[in-house]
Amino acid sequence: MIRFDDGVIRQVERICPSGVMRNFDFASRSWWRIGGTAPLAARPRTRSDIVALRRFSQNVDLPTLVIGEMSNLLFADERVDALVLQLGAEFSRPTLVDATTVRIEAGAWVPGVARFLQQHGMSGLEHICGIPGTLGGLVMMNGGSLRRSIGEHVVTVTSVDANGDTIERTRDECDFAYRHSVFADLDEVIVDVTLRLEKGDPVRMRQTMRDILRSRRLKFPRKLPNCGSVFKSNPACYAEFGPPGAMIERAGWKGMIRGGAQVSPLHANFIVNRGGAQAVDVLSLIGDIRQSVHDQTGHLLEPEIRYVDNDGKVWTADEAHSRFIANASG
């Protein structure tokens, strides 16, 4: 267990004097309302803060966990032994480069980004208007909706590595693929993103976004805590079997309960917390659903969500489920 002694705490507070929280509680803050606590969390306001935190963490061999709004993360139920770096509203400033190009800090709330672009007549990312989370997380997973992705409009991405060095990558260097980027496999903090859009009509853009939000409200569960879509919609699989929710429903999992977690009766690609759900409940459902759908279709669903273990390491949900099974049998 890492010791967060007074010296460590004081140094982090010097770097982020107004943005440090002790005993950071994931269960009260994460979208799934699941998880334990971390000893210390910092909310940097500038790139310099992030550089200083990364260098300090490296020098004292302190594990770090980078989070945004936690909209696609599942946390271990016990203590998460890492320094949490949370990018949020304090680190969300946009800078207009020209009429169709903008640079935005990674802590920006994604629906707010969509609204900012609409107000400035910068079209192409209306489809992100209903996606919860921060811009850095969206770029890391090359997220989007309606089978589109933000990577289509990325010009450059700036990040800070574990040594505190700043790196700028072009879109090609980001290695964007469907719901994936190079950042998913790197220990780097995305700090800002430059986007290039097309000129659009703000009125039409606003109507498009309203239609998208209306559709999401009708289809997706909103009353119980959840992390959105659990499994990715593979374009190749979609043509033969349809979206993941339909595949899961045909396999008989819609409405199924495991502990405090349930496959949503409204949309089978959502797992909701009915009250008191634990991480193992969600991972157990994910593992059994994947196996059941594979038995029926020959296709292994790939989870969108990621699991944070007690050491602050981040795994895909299927990797985490496999580790749970191995530990239980060992």
Paired with 226 in beta bridges are: 272
Catalytic (active site) residue 229? yes
Catalytic residue selected from 30, 229, 233, 292? 229
User: Tokens 């985490």 sit at which residue?
Assistant: 320
Question: Which residues lie closer than 8 Å to 279 by C-beta, 6 or more apart?
Answer: 34, 35, 74, 75, 76, 77, 307
Determine the Cα angle at 316 with ends 315 and 319, to 5°. 80
Catalytic residue selected from 179, 258, 290, 306? 179
Catalytic residue selected from 145, 159, 304, 306? 304
Catalytic (active site) residue 152? no
Q: Which has the closest alpha carbon to 316: 302, 329, 326, 330? A: 302
Determine the Cα angle at 203 with ends 194 and 113, to 5°. 30
Determine the length of the chain: 330
CA distance 52 to 67: 17
CA distance 136 to 157: 9
Distance, C-alpha 290 to centroid of its chain: 21
The SS3 of residue 207 is helix
CA distance 262 to 256: 6
Catalytic positions are 179, 229, 304
